Structure 1
Amino acid sequence: MTGFDAPASGWLLKRCPVLGDVWRRHWCVLGFDEEEDTWVLDCHAEKSRKLVYHIPLGMGARVLTKQWPTALAKHQQQRPCSFLLDSGEGRLCPFFLFDAVSQDSLSTWQGALSTCARELRRRLQTEEEHLFRSKLWSVEFRRYAESLGFAGSDAEWNGEFNEICEDRGWKEDSSITLKHFTKFVSKDEKMEKEHLQEVLEGLKGERELPVSDAWARQSVASNLVKLKSRSDIITAMFNCLQNVDTGRIGCSELRRYAVLSGFEGDADEWAEEYEDLCADQGWSKDTGISRLEFAGLMKDEQMGSDEELKAILMELRMSPKKRRTFDQMSQLAGKTASRNRVDVTELDRSALVAEAFRCLDVRRKELLTSREFRRYAELTGYDEGEEFWEEQYEELCQEYGWTPEVGVGLREFEEPWRGKGAQDGAPTQKLPDQPKNSGFMLARAWHC
């Protein structure tokens, strides 16, 4: 290029940071743009000659760097001028342009370069902010849930979101990517394209949101209630336990189930137990347990009744922040499971009720919260899900004069069992089954 007297063309060499010393070439035309009232540099792709960059240069150009790439040694008689441009990898990289204009234009060129760099940094910042906004967090995801029928409180949404993250293998403190969201939406096979379009228009404020109950199909809490067959429960358990990367259940994943089922040993004892189990079943301990192998293992009712598996599944779906630690759950599940049937039948009615209370009191506060009490309710017949539980719990508290905010102590827990059949000598081993017979209204069942 010969200067700014007339439009000129030549090669612009660009060093790509990813390729090291490899240089890319762009065919450039340098000239004065009357509309922009400034000199501009138009860079075209080498092969297609498609316009790649349109860069206002200001009124002059001059060397701003003393860097002299080895690859340009043959051009030593020409001092390169340089300016900064986005490399396409989100970084500012040097470009070298030859036959710079005179020294008199240095200040003008420096000003133009500074402006260009500021604008470039601003654009990169905007793109980063856009990238950040293109991810969903709990608050944004709730808007989508509400558009599909979710109408719970903040606390209910937090619980729902935690369960979804646990079920899908998402991290609660990380954002939901487009890939995550696409898989989530695609899982609902009944969601028609037209309905999704209406939801999108509603979220944009272009129309009223359609009336929908589609969220119930995606809700983990609702789907837990819908698990009718043992096969459904086993499938849901596998989904909770499986390693996200391998799609199988390994040693550490199966230990979660084992601890909740009564295993009390340490990590070394469990590793030995797991190895023996794999050898007995003909599994590869290194590869892990497949969905089919897990289903075959869990079909045996000695692994737990349907209700027991549901209770374990509920614990598995708790968020990590709310989930009891392995040690706490080991104390709870292990001591309970290790009791054989003879031990239970030897307890009188009062001791049996006290033992039930102790097992439910996982926080060891001698008070049962609504959530802990709900665990007992679900084990004894309650199947209406989280949506109606608080209402049931409040009615129960009103009937017996309990304070919901305080919780239920042992004395209050014993109260519904007083009265009919409460005398010593009653068939205590049948006690846990009695509330089931009423279908549920837990308070009514206790009077049966």
Structure 2
Amino acid sequence: MQPSRPQHQQIDTLIYARWIIPVIPAGRVYEDCALAVDGGRIAALLPAAEASSRYSAAEEVHLGQHALIPGLVNTHTHAAMSLLRGFADDRPLMEWLQQHIWPTEQKWVEPGFVADGSRLAIAEMLRSGTTTFSDQYFFPESTAEVAREAGIRAQIAFPVIDFPTPWSRDGEDAVQKGLALRDDYRSHERIDVVFAPHAPYTVGDATLEKIAVYAAEAQVPVQMHLHETTGEVERALAESGERPTERLARLGLLTPQTLCVHMTATSDRDIELLQESGAHVAHCPRSNLKLASGFCPAAQLLDSGINVALGTDGAASNNSLDLLAEANTAALLAKAVSGRAEALPAQQALAMATINGARALGIDHVIGSLEPGKSADLAAVDLGGLEQQPLHDPVSQLVYTGNGHNVSDVWVSGRPLMRRRELLSLNETDVILRTRYWRDRIAGEIR
């Protein structure tokens, strides 16, 4: 009697790739390997020959000239503002906000606007490899619903502002609406709802103290625009004698659950407070550059042990939601700001776009690296094009020559959301038609 052959383990998907870049362990690149995915999670990362002998998959994907990486994590954006892309370019931040963006939002922003703008943003993010995003905008219930339908992972950061907005009467109204939305998604596997006091200059101490209590009791993350410009810091010092970071620390809002967005005007004292508190930073270099808001000292922050992740900000001020482009800009800008060519190397830039982002959102146990047991949130980037040749280092090519147009396939929780550049959970034609509808309405009003 001949010995029986060992049976193959049945799994959902085997993805063979020329390179697999797990991010953890740092600096590793696996060649000619495969990722086994089952039940929405990563089962194993192993050599291709071993994978074919161990597993029998319902679906096999062969990526002969691709790098397979963790899905990118966009830690700060305003998705619905995609409908205002190119609307009021080339203006400084406060003029842009006060004279153009805020008046337009007051007139046009409603649930349908937010849903259609979010749909456009999510389509763009998926097509450029982003599988998780944190969003801060009005009518967050609309963004949450579109994210749920599209299959992307989302942190919905509901905006809290002490004056009337299209969504809320004041800070208290925003907090209560946001808490109700959080209850609606409490058990959802892909969508979380968190606090987002807008900025130090739009939210008073009483509201911030209330948020600090809620966040501490329920262990809920908090996201806030902070030190976006030198002018913001100077005004705070003139009015109260406190830097915005000092004010948040005094109010109990600078904690390991806090994500500080921008941090362009940063002193040694600010860095000390970030170190002591364990707070995170969302670096949005392209938006900061376009609005001339200043330079976040990302390399210095990272060297100080502070977790720095990447965000695109909204498409109205970027004007792209391409996180690979953001990683490229972050790496180049860090070298210019620090005066050191070795500052923020490619591996670190990729980490900022993946595991650092997951840490900043408090979900690094779920996503951010290709480790067994984590959710299979993945992006495949085609490195076979002329522009990527010759290929000496795939991570270098991803950061310094790659962009979102090279992303071919995307998965979230093992579910394919884009295959060979075709979106599977969103109708691209419908997204474009809805976008043109809003362009024509807004343009007609302007004329």
TM-score range, shorter chain: under 0.3
When Rg is computed on C-alpha atoms for both structures, the one with the higher figure is 1
Q: Which has the higher contact order (CA 8 A, sep 6+)?
A: 2
Q: TM-score, normalised by structure 2?
A: 0.23
User: Larger % of strand: which?
Assistant: 2
